[in-house]
Each structure stands twice: as C-alpha cells, then as structure tokens.
Amino acid sequence: MTGALRIGFIPLVDAAALIVAVDNGFTAAEGLDVTLVREVSWSNVRDKLNIGLFDAAHLLAPVAIASSLGIGHVKVPIVAPFNLGINGNAITVSPALHAELMTNLEGDCFDPMATALALARVVAKRRKDGAEPLTFAMTFPFSTHNYQLRFWMAAGGVDPDEDVRLVVLPPSYMVDSLASGHVDGFCVGAPWNSIAVDQGRGHILHFGSDILGHAAEKVLALRQNWAEKNSDVVAALVRACARAADFIEQSRAEAATILARPERIGVSVDIIQRTLDGRLTISRDGTVRASARYLLVGREAARPDPVQAAWLYSQMVRWGQTPLSADALRTAMGVFRQDIYEAILGPAGANVANDGIGAFAGPPFEPTDIAAHLKAFKVGRWKA
C-alpha cells in the first residue's frame, strides 16, 4: 500500500473531517502519510486532482459530478466515497438590502418563500425606478451555493439570469465586496457569513438548510481509476475520516481548536465553534439563531446518497448547464459511492428529509423522472 498522499482542501469549516483526520493522527494510525495542501480556488483543486498532483481532495459536490460528466471542463471520472459536509451555507445580504426586504416582507422572516416574494417586490420596484439590478455572489458555477441561491429566488418568481446579476466571487472577497457595495448579497459556506456579520457588514437572511433540508455540500473526491487501483488506501482514508467525524461530534471544542490553526482554516476558534454548534449571530444587533441542521460534518453527514447527486444534476439541467440525459443522470448518481462507504463502514446514517432533499418549494424530488420534476418549476433555462 502506497501510504504517501497529497490531499487538497479549501479553508472552510466543512473540510473539518479531513483536517481532523490528518491533524489528530487518524490517518497516520491507518498507515497513511498525508500532506494537506491548502488551495486558493476550486479550479485549482479540480485541476490538481484531475492531473494527479493531488490523490484526493475536499471538493464541491457538484464539481465532482460536473468533472465526471465533462461539463464545462475536461472529463475526468471522480468517485466520492465519503461526504465531508451536508448543508453549512447561508445567504447573507447587506444591511441596506435586509432593511428593504423586511419592509416588503409579508410573513415570517425565516420562511424562504416569504423572503423570496419580498425579493421579487424589491426587484420589481428597482426595475420600475430604473435602478441597477441587484448583484448576488456565489462561489462557483458548479456549487450548491449557486443552486440554493437560484432555487430560493426562482421560488419567488425572480429569474436569476434575467432579473438580478449573479456572479462568482472567491469566498475571501465576499465580505469586502458586500462592504464596498459591489454585491448586495451572497451565498457562501462557513466561516464567511459569520465574518460578514461580525464586521457589521452583513445580515444572515437564511441558513442553507431553510432552502434545502439536506444538501450534499462537499465530498472527499478521488479519481475513479486511482481509487480502483488503490482500494485499500481509499478504505484507510475513509476509516480515518469516519473516526474524525465521530471525534468532531464528541469533542467540538477540541476540533474547533485544530481547525482554527493558521495553516488550516485560520480564523478564530470562536467562529468555528459557533459554526459547528449551528449557533450563528445573524445580525449586527447580536441576534443569535440556532439550528441543529445548519451544518452537518459528523457521521450523519458521511454516507453518500445518490439521490443527492441526482438533485444536483437536475439543477445543472434546470439552469442550462447541461442537457437532460438518462445516461448522464446514471453517471451523476454513480459518483456518490454509497457502496464503497457501506463496504468499509457498514450501513449507517439516516436521511431526515422524505425525498432525500427537503426543498422548501415545489413537489418532492423524483430522481426517476427529472423532466416531470423540472416541469413543476416556472423559472429555469430548461425546456422540455
């Protein structure tokens, strides 16, 4: 067994299981000599994994699927035998946009349908006044952030490609761009929403889990051909990550200290602890909102679910990133390797949402008939 591995990651809290597995000695205990490489862009992580400079990576779940399908880039089949994170994103808006939304809100401010309708009213008013369209940022074209933001807006009748500007921004630029007025809101993972709130520049409008109850966010990604040739290394790595996921559940404070180190995530222990606890300050006035489903990085998040992959693929189709095809759907679902996970760790992990997704709007997700499912949504680029 070749034990020396290079694994890429982006400094985000949902890399927790991977970072703790290495820094707490779980990978070493499995006989693996892992070097974690901190990266600055998802493009870099993807490319370095694709060409073999990385053996594995902390990767956006939709990128693993897009790579396997060859959408937007080179086709490199990827397998994801372990889910590093479920949920964990949030939509943050500038204090000005927040005030405008609250003025136009009819209903509960934590109800995404109510806020989406408020957004539609704000957008309509701006158009009538001849004002510039609102700009929203997300982290990557193939990201849960992109699909969550789009799903939310579209439910209120806002077309994300026509009625607002939707732009890609690196997470580290989000807070400054909100402060400078270049963007009015964004959807990003932890810790960036909390940083915006702590600096008094943003208001957390929604947790990602308000929009989708259970969304695959980041996966442990490996090249399929490499994983096939190194199945014992894959098993060792998955076991180490599972041990780390258990450790994070049992010793959150200790895990937060490990993750906060400058060479890992490099933010305060307090912000990481709040994130792991799902207890976020959402406003400048210190309002705290807690949700046990805000971010899942423990064992309940770990088992890959092909239904999740199917949903992500359906969103690529909905927003015109790729045409609908039965073959592609099969390939997408095959990226999330529940079989590898269960062969190594046994069956485990309950999915709380009935359809595996738990979206706040639209009919329950139906992976066997994506065309029929997408027809239920008015806004989108896909036409039957």
Partner 1 sequence: MSADQSPKIVIVDESPIRAAILEEGLREAGFTAVVHISEMQGLLARIYALDPDVIVIDLENPSRDVLEQMFQVSRAVRRPIAMFVDQSDAASIQASVEAGVSAYIVDGLKKERIKPILDLCISRFNAFSKLQDELERAKSALEDRKVIDRAKGILMKMKGFTEEEAYVLLRSTAMREKKKIGEIAQSILTASEMLK
Interface residues toward partner 1, by CB under 8 A: 40-44, 47-48, 51, 53, 72-75, 139-141, 161-162, 165-170, 172-173, 177, 180, 182, 320-321, 381
Which CB atom, from 14 or from 300, has the smaller least distance to partner 1? 14
Beta carbon of residue 52, minimum distance to partner 1 (angstroms, whole number): 8
Beta carbon of residue 319, minimum distance to partner 1 (angstroms, whole number): 8
Beta carbon of residue 239, minimum distance to partner 1 (angstroms, whole number): 30
Which CB atom, from 140 or from 341, has the smaller least distance to partner 1? 140
Q: Considering only CA atoms, which of 59, 12, 58 is closest in space to residue 312?
A: 59
**Which amino acid makes up residue 23?**
D
Which CB atom, from 159 or from 249, has the smaller least distance to partner 1? 159
| Longest CA span, the chain | 66
Question: What does each C-alpha distance from 302 to 85, 263, 346 come to in angstroms?
Answer: 7, 25, 12
Which CB atom, from 316 or from 332, has the smaller least distance to partner 1? 316
Q: How far is residue 210 CA from its own chain's centroid?
A: 14
Which CB atom, from 3 or from 229, has the smaller least distance to partner 1? 229
Beta carbon of residue 42, minimum distance to partner 1 (angstroms, whole number): 5
Which CB atom, from 39 or from 198, has the smaller least distance to partner 1? 39
**CA–CA separation, 5 and 105 (whole Å):** 51
**CA–CA separation, 226 and 7 (whole Å):** 13
Tokens linked to 104: 């136009």
**CA–CA separation, 259 and 135 (whole Å):** 32
Beta carbon of residue 245, minimum distance to partner 1 (angstroms, whole number): 27
**CA–CA separation, 357 and 335 (whole Å):** 17
Beta carbon of residue 172, minimum distance to partner 1 (angstroms, whole number): 6
**CA–CA separation, 174 and 188 (whole Å):** 8
**CA–CA separation, 341 and 306 (whole Å):** 12
Which CB atom, from 166 or from 335, has the smaller least distance to partner 1? 166
> Between β-strands 78-87 and 90-93, what pairing exists: parallel, antiparallel or unpaired?
unpaired
Beta carbon of residue 289, minimum distance to partner 1 (angstroms, whole number): 29
